[in-house]
Structure 1
Amino acid sequence: MKLLLCLVPVALVAATYVLADTGRDRVRQYSDACKAESGVSDESLNKARNGEEVDDPKLKEHAFCILKKSGFIDASGSL
């Protein structure tokens, strides 16, 4: 579980830096769509962006959704 909490933010940061400016816009679009799907709060997202530890299942669902939409993982969680 702690490994997942470490990997999710790292994966999001890596995905953001790997993509070009248009890719960043795409990730932002994915994030907006996934925010609506997961129901994660702005507070949880801001805390995670600031590096604070957040134990919110909706945040994990949000991160998983972004990684799926960006093609980094499939629905089963495989790379």
Structure 2
Amino acid sequence: MKIVLAFLALAVISAQGATLTDAQKEKLLEFHRECKESSGVEQIVIDDAKAGKYANDPKIKAHLFCVSKKIGLQNEAGEIQKDVMMAKLSALLNDQEIAKKMVELCAKPDSTPEETSYSVLKCYYQNTPDHVSLI
């Protein structure tokens, strides 16, 4: 596992395209606004999650699941959509192999759809050295 993580760290550092277009950023902000309203999560908790500080808070978990559904990473039932995740990560990281390794490492179901969102995004953040945020 350490070898895989070391490979991922090296590969992500050298990845070129870990950015979103302005239109994608605006759409993501729109999703966050909608999900923040429906979940009732405080902005500071969202900001902390973006910085890698994941609170064990049901509201942030609901928020993350809401955003994950809107992005297409999970369906309504909470099932991980690995093909969508793979496509989005490949585009974001500009490297299909790194994306594949991240999906293999992090795209694992948890006890509830909200826990799954939380675990997947936390795993992704913790295992990328430049901490490209999916939220």
TM-score (structure 2 length as normaliser): 0.43
CA-based RMSD = 1.6
Which runs of 5 or more residues in structure 2 are unaligned? 1-17, 82-135
Aligned ranges 1:1-40 → 2 under 5 Å: 17=18, 19-40=20-41
Q: Secondary structure at the match of 1:55?
A: coil
In the other structure, the counterpart of 1:67 is 68
TM-score (structure 1 length as normaliser): 0.69
How far apart are 1:35 and its partner, in Å? 0.1
19 and 77 in structure 1: CA distance in 2 versus 1, 3 angstrom threshold: farther
CA radius of gyration, larger in = 2
18 and 63 in structure 1: CA distance in 2 versus 1, 3 angstrom threshold: farther
Structure (1/2) with the larger helix percentage: 1
Which runs of 5 or more residues in structure 1 are unaligned? 1-16
How far apart are 1:49 and its partner, in Å? 1.7
Identity %: 32
Q: How many equivalent pairs are there?
A: 63
In the other structure, the counterpart of 1:76 is 77
Q: Which amino acid aligns with 2:50?
A: R
How far apart, in 1, do the equivalents of 2:61 and 2:26 lie?
A: 21
